[in-house]
Amino acid sequence: MRRAVVLLSGGLDSATTLSVAIHEGFDAHALSFHYGQRHDIEVTAAKRVAASLGASEHRIAAIDLRIFGGSALTDEIAVPTNCDTKKTSGIPITYVPARNTIFLSYALAWCEVLGAADIFIGVNAIDYSGYPDCRPAFIAAFEELANVATKAGVEGTRFQIHAPLISMSKSQIIRKGTELGVDFSLTRSCYDPVGDGLACGECDSCRLRLEGFRAAGFEDPISYATK
């Protein structure tokens, strides 16, 4: 069985991505990050998702992106809701500088140790088109880099960065995940959970998720503080 490293955040996109990798026959090694999020809920959700879908291993790398600051998700800036999310360039303030570059770099390191050539990442260029590191051009550039950056690449490995959701809408992702048997009740998407982890229902991520479930014609199995 070919091994693959799958980036897993605990949200519904990465859960669906992990399920795609496993259904494509990969021996999936899930990788999550504890990166100074203000809430640990994502990592807890990632653990449940990895176990539920049958990842053969799940590692959590502790990295501290707070030392640089610069984002609503790692800094002390308020998480945006509704229309105040876009800056003039169209990039949300929840953008974390170079985050997916850092995540893929770690995945690449683990690939080399595992002897794997495949990395799965649940980026999506449709609903999150504001994030530069969720676009096909980014994925292609990282693939190029991986082949010249590594011992494995020099020795002939051709790395492939799989982004199976990149052209899908949120509702298509939800339909795909449902079809593959992903238990979305285990996933968490909220940027700003309330109390002991209840999704706020108001941040960008909650709104996108709720709209996705509505458009897909399914009920979101998680609970919200407001709905």
CB of 114 to a copy of itself, least distance (A): 8
Could you give the strand order of the β-sheet that contains 118-120, starting from the edge strand earlier in sequence?
Answer: 27-34, 3-7, 118-120, 160-162
Which backbone phi and psi does 93 adopt, to 5 degrees?
-75, -10
**Which CB atom, from 1 or from 67, has the smaller least distance to a copy of itself?**
67
List alpha helices for 2-40, DSSP H.
Answer: 12-23
Q: Which of 81, 91, 166, 211 binds a copy of itself (CB under 8 A)?
A: 91
**Which CB atom, from 135 or from 214, has the smaller least distance to a copy of itself?**
135
CB of 180 to a copy of itself, least distance (A): 28
Neighbours of 223 (CB within 10 A): 11
CB–CB of 209/170 below 8 Å? Answer: yes
Query: What gap in Å lies between CA 93 and CA 75, rounded to an integer?
Result: 11
Binding mask 167-206 vs a copy of itself (x if CB under 8 A, - otherwise)? Answer: ----------------------------------------
Task: Say which residue the tokens 């940027």 belong to.
Answer: 191
Q: Which of 59, 157, 169, 214 binds a copy of itself (CB under 8 A)?
A: 59
Q: Which stretch binds a copy of itself (CB under 8 A): 16-24, 43-51, 66-74, 187-195?
A: 66-74
**Which residue in 64, 83, 82 sits closest to 74, CA to CA?**
64
Tokens linked to 48: 């449940």
Size of the site for a copy of itself (CB under 8 A): 45
First to last CA, the chain: 43
106 binds a copy of itself (CB under 8 A): yes
Q: Which of 26, 110, 120, 213 binds a copy of itself (CB under 8 A)?
A: 110
142 binds a copy of itself (CB under 8 A): yes
Q: Which of 76, 155, 196, 219 binds a copy of itself (CB under 8 A)?
A: 155
**Count of residues making up the chain:** 227
CB–CB of 93/71 below 8 Å? Answer: yes
118 binds a copy of itself (CB under 8 A): no
**Which CB atom, from 68 or from 223, has the smaller least distance to a copy of itself?**
68
Three-state SS sequence of 179-191: HHCCCHHHCCCCC
Q: Give the interface with a copy of itself as residue ranges (CB under 8 A).
A: 59, 61-65, 67-70, 89, 91, 95-102, 105-106, 108-113, 132-133, 135, 137-138, 141-142, 144-146, 148-151, 153-155
